Chain A
Amino acid sequence: MARKILVVDDESDIRRVLEFRLKNAGYDVIGASDGESCLRKAKEEAPGLIILDVMMPGINGFEVCKLLKEGDKTKDIPVIMLTVLAGEVDLSKGLEKGASCFISKPFNIIDLLWEVKTIIAGEKKGKRNTKSKKKISPGRKKKNRGGKK
């Protein structure tokens, strides 16, 4: 059960590559193309992790995250937020809404898989948001994950 991941993005190409990568890494993947179907599938399928795009038509990712964290059945599902808005919006606000971490697009798949692995492993131990490794390279900077302000 814990190895099931819900990927939410309105761009089907992004869903497709993420699905491919995650399946290759041994996870079960289900997809959703908007906030509403994400909320429904999160309830029905009870995934171990949700990868959620921020900019979507309809309810945006922040709102979806907030609603997930308010739902009894879904409040314990960790959320990784994917965004092209890196640095443009106050990401700490998203973290307040309960996201475990932010990853900016274009993402580095190794970073993403590492986050997924850590969060799911942490979930098993009842922990969340393990401190991530430090990566420094231009154009591939991960944004602050809270606690830095």
Chain B
Amino acid sequence: MLEKQKPVDRRKYIRFDTEIKVNFQIQEKRKESTLSGKISGISRNISVEGICFISKKKLESGSRLELEIFFPSESKPLHLEGEVRWSRSLQSKKGKAMFETGVKLFTFDKGDTNKFISNILPEHRRAEEVLRESEKRLSQIIQGSSIPTFVIDNRRLVTHWNKACESLTGISAKKMIGTRKQWSAFYSKKRPLMTDLIVGEASEKEIAGYYADKYRKSAVIKGAYEAEDFFLHVGKRGKYLFFTAAPLRDLEGKIIGAIETLQDITERKRVEKSLKEAMEVKSQFISMVSHELRTPLTAIKEAIAIVLDGSAGEINGEQKDFLDMAKRNVDRLARLIHNALDFQKLERGKMEFHIQKNDINEVVKDIWRTMSSLAGEEGLDFSIRLKDKLPRIRFDKDKITQVLVNIVNNAIKFTDKGQVVITTGRGKNMVQVSVRDTGPGIRKKDLPRLFHRFEQLAPPRGGKMGGTGLGLAISKEIVEKHRGKIWVKSKIGKGTTFHFVLPIKEQRG
């Protein structure tokens, strides 16, 4: 047999351990001495297909056969040699000869055929069936998905158009499959879809030409693109669609088609739009109300002040007391309106920041100078401890001053006796400011609420109220806009310390 005939060293071979029985049909070409034809058959659950060449003369039992056999799952032909064990000739009608042949096959090591055969053997699967099965399964997956999906092949013909896609576009799979009319589901004029561009291996420039700034590369799938657009011709009134198109590749990486999934985001867009409008209306309302309030407030405030300071004639002690009360409350109202507007601006990102290189120690010194008298009136010891040679960092001096004033104000307001100390320090890549007081402290359960807007904690032991509940919320926003952090530590009966840090590098928020 062949083992004996071809004992060449490097030619390893693998032997099918049983015969492959092949039924083959040979188209007889009379003038040629060689018959060629297609063969196909199954042995040991391996399906083979191929072309064979047989010399007419040798077509008898025992003659050698040269076969080129294709395994369906592999495009490379496998060169096999075998031996005709027996043959039978059947005369057919149109000059076709039918042979039934048993061949014992050997394969010689050409490239990785060796590996290939041994891969197949243990599987004992009918490759063709496996393939058909997997194709069917793929179809079912696409069909069964509730996400509108279609697939095109490398000739841009539609191969899949699932139920969800039918109901989204209103066009049946029947009308689509096997055609290149996929564009008509989305546009009124013919133009390529994202899948077509991918199959055509379009350049980034071409894609941008069709989708402008509405598309981007998928972050998840290599070679895929996603886009969002409004399609006037989809549905009754048009639809916003979000779609992702990804290439389908063969084992060698060649593009053999593309798949596109679509998402109807019309409703989301509508909700987003009305939410945005509602936010805008709310902002405008707050803005308008605050402005409208300021004008009468200005008149009230001045009118009270004029009477109170005696400019309009003398007043008695009791009158003065009540006017003081009125003034205090007008001032409080003014602060509330101011803070509400500030917070509104911060929330809408409309607050302007004037970021410049500044020295935090200078800010602290300024505050110490302006607020010492207030602390003195309350009988508190107000001091500062500054770290030498802090780097100048970029921040909005007015805004950071506002934060510190707010914290120090609170400290002074809530501390009955003892001290308020501002310290500055340097941490890793940041500058830290801390304000420590010897006040009543804040209960642990209240700490998380502290920076929420409109939160005011119950005053300790009948202490003073009168803030707006926005001061710390604003402070937090301001510090965070500087990419800093603000936090608080407190112990009941011992006092409270507010800390905030500002980064040394890279400021703009």
Contacts and interface: CB of A to CB of B under 8 A. Distances in A.
Given A17-B306, A20-B312, A137 B298 contact: no
A126 to B, nearest CB: 30
A84 B294 contact: yes
A109 interface: yes
Interface stretch (A41-49, A63-71, A141-149): A141-149
Contacts of A105: 294-295, 297-298
A136 B406 CA distance: 11
A139 B303 CA distance: 19
A13 interface: yes
Contact of A148 (B312, B354, B366, B405): B354
Chain B interface, DSSP helix/strand/loop, else mixed: helix
B405 A136 contact: yes
Contacts, number: 80
A59 interface: no
B366 A85 contact: no
A88 B350 CA distance: 8
Given A17-B302, A109-B302, A148-B354, A138 B295 contact: no
A85 B405 contact: no
Nearest to B409: A138
Contacts of B367: 136
Interface size bucket, B side? 35 or more
A106 B405 contact: no
Contacts of B456: none
B405 A24 contact: no
Chain A, interface SS category: loop
Interface in A72-119: 84-85, 87-88, 90, 105-107, 109
Given A84-B294, A105-B294, A139-B331, A13 B409 contact: no
Nearest to B374: A137
Contacts of A13: 296, 299, 303
A11 interface: yes
Interface string A113-142: 000000000000000000000101111010
A113 to B, nearest CB: 12
A3 interface: no
Given A87-B345, A87-B351, A137-B405, A20 B295 contact: no
B79 interface: no
Nearest to A15: B299
Contacts of A107: 298
A105 B66 CA distance: 102
Interface residues of A, number: 28
A79 to B, nearest CB: 19
B287 A14 contact: no
Contacts of B316: none
Contacts of B296: 13
Most buried by B among A16, A106, A141: A106
A106 B334 contact: yes
Nearest to B292: A84
Contacts of B58: none
Nearest to B467: A138
Nearest to B331: A139
Given A13-B303, A88-B287, A141-B338, 19 more contacts: A14-B302, A17-B306, A20-B311, A20-B312, A85-B291, A87-B342, A105-B298, A106-B298, A106-B302, A109-B305, A134-B366, A137-B370, A137-B405, A138-B335, A138-B406, A138-B409, A138-B471, A141-B398, A141-B402
**Which 3 residue pairs of A and B lie closest in terms of their CB atoms, listed nearest first?**
A139-B335, A17-B302, A13-B299
11 contacts: A11-B295, A13-B303, A14-B298, A14-B299, A17-B298, A20-B306, A84-B298, A88-B350, A106-B298, A141-B338, A141-B398
